[in-house]
Amino acid sequence: MIFSVSEFNEFIDEYLDSVGEVVVEGEISEIRINQGKWVFMTIKDESASLRIFSFTWTLKNLSSLTEGMLVRVKGSPGLYKKNASFSLQASEVLPSGEGALRLAFEQLRKKLSEEGLFDVSRKRSLVSFPEKIGLLTARNSRAYSDFIKIINARMGGLKIYFYPVQVQGEGAVDSIINGLDFFNKELLDLDLLVITRGGGSLEDLQAFNDERVVRKVYASKIPVVAGVGHEADVSLVDLVADLRASTPSNAAELIVRDKKDVIQQIEFDKKLIRQTIIKNIDERLEVVRKIKSIFQKFTQILSLKISNNINTISNSVNSLLTHQINKLSNLKRLLRSLNYQNVLRRGYSITFSEDGSVLKNNTMVKLGDKIKTLLYNGKINSKVLSLNYEEKTKKS
């Protein structure tokens, strides 16, 4: 069969189309952009080179690619039929190898830092006692189980809205972005958003160093806590988040206080307030007593010089001062009687549900629930074995 030149080029191009998408690894030896639209690149190995063609809007990480970087190019082979120029039309160009990934990481880090994405001044503070938390991580992952375990152990009773995402590999970036979009569009009343995963290599964490993900975290309307990798791992998502945690477990520890510490602080504050009030009452009592003493001495002197009418005035003032002293003394006794420890000392007790709520009626628990009873000299842990309900009857 004899081909014309154009027919032969057409035939080869159709054959190349049938090859489909491939991935080629090589070092960038040249990269240039034409008219802000077209990207021309050459990659090479020890014995050959390959021309790469793409568009600026296709390669999202174009600004981080440099000559000398080892990359993996995903694309389809094709032939420019006019001059039989062969090239690979790229849909994605990613750094390959630890060195290339580290170089791309540092370049993007510098770029985003200069734009102000990592500025401490723009980071938002978190609420002290969050009630609704959004969680982005992989389904059935160690990061998920560690986070939930610590949250429940420290406080419990919180609402966790879980959105499972892919945390590495192809599709991870889009998966994380979709999760961030979901929370920022559907659940804006969240107190905070946690994005986390376990440790891994720089390549494993690549999705959390992607520029699109970093910018999406930056734009989040909900405060973001990031706990990516182990303590030594630092991702760009960690840097842009409002709060960085060293691990998934540490993320839970940072956002939720331990209920034991909270209860202890409340008891300390109650004691301090009670002592302060009693101290103020004692000080006022002392002032009133001194005024009464001074007034009594004053009236004694006046009674000798003026008339018996002063006795009537003196009695009235003394009565008023005595009334104030009694009133303050009664208030002091009342404050002391309101101390729940004094109530417990008289034989009463307080029962709590498993989440720490005070049980006011038996409808707040169900069979099998664990409960805790607080006595004057200790605690009793027990389980609900039966429930008896009293029926209220209306009087005719």
Report if residue 68 sits inside a domain: yes
Please indicate, yes or no, if residue 333 is contained in any of the structural domains: yes
CA torsion sign for 8, 14, 15, 16 is positive
Mean pLDDT along residues 162-188: 91
Q: Do 183 and 212 share a domain, yes or no?
A: yes
Q: How far apart are the first and last CA of the chain?
A: 110
Look at the pTM and tell me if it is higher than 0.75: no
Which range has the worst mean pLDDT, 141-145, 243-247, 249-253, 325-329?
Answer: 325-329
Distances (CA, A) of 224 to 87, 101, 124, 154: 43, 25, 9, 20
In terms of domains, do 208 and 266 share one? no
22 and 40 share a domain? yes
- Measured in degrees and rounded to the nearest 5, phi and psi for residue 224 equal -115, 135
390 within domain boundaries: no
The structural domain count of the chain equals 4
Judge whether 388 lies within some domain: no
Q: Give the domain extent around 38.
A: 5-96
Assess whether pLDDT exceeds 50 at residue 396: no
Q: Is the pLDDT of residue 99 over 70?
A: yes
Look at residue 182 in the predicted model and tell me its pLDDT. 94
The verdict on 250 and 203 lying in the same domain is: yes
Assess whether pLDDT exceeds 90 at residue 54. yes
Confidence tier at 97 by pLDDT (50, 70, 90):
confident
Same domain flag for 274 and 295: yes
pLDDT band at residue 17 using 50, 70 and 90 as cut-offs = confident
In a domain, 391, yes or no: no
Q: What is the Cα–Cα distance from 198 to 179, expressed in whole angstroms?
A: 18
Give which of 102, 103, 41 is closest to 73, Cα–Cα. Answer: 41
Instruction: Tell whether 281 and 329 lie within a shared domain.
Output: yes
Is residue 104 in a domain? no
Query: Coil, helix or strand for 188?
Result: coil
State the average pLDDT over residues 346-362: 80
Beta carbons of 127 and 191 less than 8 angstroms apart: yes
pLDDT digits (tens, 9 = 90+) for 310-336: 556 666 666 776 777 777 777 767 666
Asked if residue 210 and residue 303 are part of one domain, the reply reads no
Report whether 235 contacts 111 (CB < 8 A): no
The Cα–Cα gap between 162 and 144 comes to: 9
291 and 361: one domain? no
Is 396 inside any structural domain? Answer: no
Helices (H), 170-247: 172-186, 211-218, 236-240
Residue 46 has pLDDT above 60, yes or no: yes
Q: Is residue 206 domain-shared with residue 292, that is, in the same domain?
A: no
Do residue 249 and residue 283 come from a single domain?
no
Q: Is the pLDDT of residue 138 over 60?
A: yes
**Do residues 268 and 274 make contact, with C-beta atoms less than 8 angstroms apart?**
no
Report which secondary-structure segment, H or E, holds 26. Answer: strand 22-34
For 100-123, b/e burial (b = at least 16 CB within 10 A) is bbebbbebbbeebeeeebbeeeee
CA 22 to chain centre: 40
Residues 316 and 246 in one domain: no
Task: Write the CA distances from 303 to 254, 289, 290, 306, 317, integer angstroms.
Answer: 72, 21, 20, 6, 14
In a domain, 108, yes or no: no
Strand 370-375 and strand 350-352: pairing? antiparallel
